[in-house]
Amino acid sequence: MGAAAADLEARQLRILGRISDLELAAQQHRLGALSISTAPSEKGEADAGATEVHLAALLAARGVRDFAFRRVPADYYDRSLEERRDLLRADSVAQLCKSIVMVWLAPFPFPRGCFVEH
């Protein structure tokens, strides 16, 4: 590859990197503006929003573009599968995801085996 072609490739890669950074920043901004809970009157609700933004940034940085966060009532697992489907806005019960993210709201120290990444 000639020097001109290598220079062009390097410029294109820098441009693509900037575009990725802008997409990530825009995604974080959009997610930061969303709120599906009541006003953050308690520390836990405010932390959950920050957690969603952080997780969204991690997912976007790893190329995941299609994801959603849903907060559910405390009695979620006491409800029928159909009610859970509706709460999560899934098309069918078969689509209910088995992944869960919990935010540790208790004061330090963290339980053994848990850590916080800053």
Structure confidence by residue, pLDDT tens digits, 29-64: 766 554 444 444 455 444 567 888 888 888 888 888
User: Which residues have a Cβ under 8 Å from the Cβ of 82 and sit 6 or more positions away?
Assistant: 93
Rounded Cα distance between 97 and 72, Å, is 13
pLDDT at res. 48 = 61
pLDDT, residue 36, reads 45
Q: pTM for the full model?
A: 0.42
